[in-house]
Amino acid sequence: MFRFAVRSVRPVARLPVASRFVQPIRSYAVAPITKDEVIKRSFEALKTVAALQESEISLESSFQKDLALDSLDTVEALVALEEEFDLEIPDKISDEIKTVGEAVNYIFEEEQKL
Amino acid sequence: MTTSKQILVLYKQLLEKAYKFDNYNFREFAKRKVTDSFKANKGLSDSEAITNFYNQGILDLAMLTRQTTISQMYTFEKLVVEPLKRQR
């Protein structure tokens, strides 16, 4: 309802009548997610994984090498990320994700598609 | 013969289901139970024991699927310990 009000009032004041319907005002419920936000939320989600609580997480750190996770913990970390962002990482892609940065990139790309 | 790949897929499915409980207590219990029992059994080497454990996991997955569905039908207020989800 608010949107209609905005659409009908503002163009009358500023634009000539002909272009009133040419430029609809688009309004989003939520601003698109930024990369920084994805990174911040990923790190928070990763901190909930028991094996990662004390580790220093950075974008370059590899799950298995730097963070010393075994395959079970890696799966756990990825599921924690999935739940945080409400998406599902297919098995094929999760096999290729080796570092935190790769996971963040994948999530960011998926969020752009929404 | 059960491969480690199959085990990891089962582990992932179980965890994903465990997250779906609406009730905090059930959810946290299910997550803890799944991770703990996999960690406790990760040293299994006898292939028969592994297969038994895997089959038990399949049954548990079916059970979790049923119970999470039921859990989502009867939802309750959030507990104070639960962080509120951001508005999306």
Domain positions in chain B are 4-73
Taking alpha carbons only, the member of A88, A85, A71 closest to residue A43 is A85
Q: Which CATH class is domain A35-113?
A: mainly alpha
| Residue A103 confidence (pLDDT) above 50 | yes
- Interchain contact, B12 vs A70, CB within 8 Å: no
Q: Over the stretch A59-90, which tens digit does the pLDDT of each residue have?
A: 888 888 888 888 888 999 999 999 988 888 88
State how far residue B16 is from chain A, nearest Cα, in angstroms. Answer: 7
Chain B residues whose beta carbon lies within 8 Å of the beta carbon of residue A111:
none
**Torsion over CA of A7, A10, A16 and A18, rounded to 10 degrees?**
0
Residue B88: pLDDT band by 50, 70, 90 thresholds?
very low
- Interchain contact, A79 vs B38, CB within 8 Å: no
Cβ atoms A70, B42 nearer than 8 A: yes
> What is residue A15's predicted lDDT score, i.e. its pLDDT?
53
Domain positions in chain A are 1-30, 35-113
> Does B29 touch chain A if contact means CB atoms closer than 8 Å?
no
